[in-house]
Amino acid sequence: MLSARIRIAARLLAVAALAALTAGCFQPMYAEHTDGTPGLREKLMGVDLPPINKANASREARVGVEVRNALAFKLYGSATGMPPTHRLEIRFNSSKSSLIVDPNTGLPNSENYGIDCQYNLIEVATGKSVMTGTTFSRVSYDMPGSYQRFSRNRAVRDAEDRAANEIAENINTRLAAFFTAGT
C-alpha cells in the first residue's frame, strides 16, 4: 500500500517537473511581445484584402464580398487594418449539387453548396509571393417545401454565408500559423 502511494507521488512529481521545464517554451499566439517585435495581431492587421474579382451583381460576387468581410473581421476586428505589409489575393469557384431528389416532384429536398478557394500572400515591399494555399468548404442545406421559392433562396443564401465564414476561418488560421512560425 505504501509503495503504491510512493509510485503515484513519484509519477505526479515527474509530471510536475516536466511541466515546469516546458512552461517557458509556450507563448499564447496573440500575446504581445515584451521585446518590441510586433505581435501576431499587428502582423495580421498589416494584411491588405483587395476586393475579390467576380462579375458584378452575380451570386458569386455576393459570396466574394461575404468571404472578404468575414476575413477582414477575423484579421482586424473591424473594417480596416494598419498600413499594409502584405496583400492577400483570393480566387474561388463555387458549386451546387443535389443530394436528395423527391421522386414525385423531381425537385431537390437537400443540396450541397461548395467553395474551392486559392489564396496567395504577397509581400508588398518586394512584390514576392511568400505563401500560397488552397482551402475548401462544403455545406448542406434542406429546402422546407420544394415549391417555396423564397425559403429555398434563403436556404441557399444561408449555406453560402456558412461556407464563406468557413473559408475565412481556414485562411485566417493559415495566416496566423504563417506569421507565427514564418513558414
What's the pLDDT score for residue 26?
60
Any domain includes 1:
no
| Helical (H) or strand (E) element with 52 | none
Question: Could you tell me how many helices (H) and strands (E) the chain has, helices first?
Answer: 4, 4
CATH number for the domain including 112? 3.30.160.150
Instruction: Confirm if 148 and 96 have CB atoms less than 8 A apart.
Output: no
What's the pLDDT score for residue 89?
97
Any domain includes 57:
yes
Please state, in angstroms and rounded to a whole number, the distance separating the CA atoms of residues 28 and 43: 15
Instruction: Confirm if 113 and 159 have CB atoms less than 8 A apart.
Output: yes
Ranges of the chain with pLDDT below 50: none
Any domain includes 156:
yes
Q: What is the pLDDT of residues 119-133, one digit of tens each?
A: 999 999 999 999 999
Any domain includes 18:
no
Any domain includes 96:
yes
Any domain includes 5:
no
Count of domains forming the chain: 1
Any domain includes 10:
no
Any domain includes 173:
yes
What's the pLDDT score for residue 79?
59
Q: Is 87 left (phi over 0), alpha (psi -120 to 50) or beta?
A: beta
Find the domain containing 86 and state its range: 37-181
What's the pLDDT score for residue 180?
87
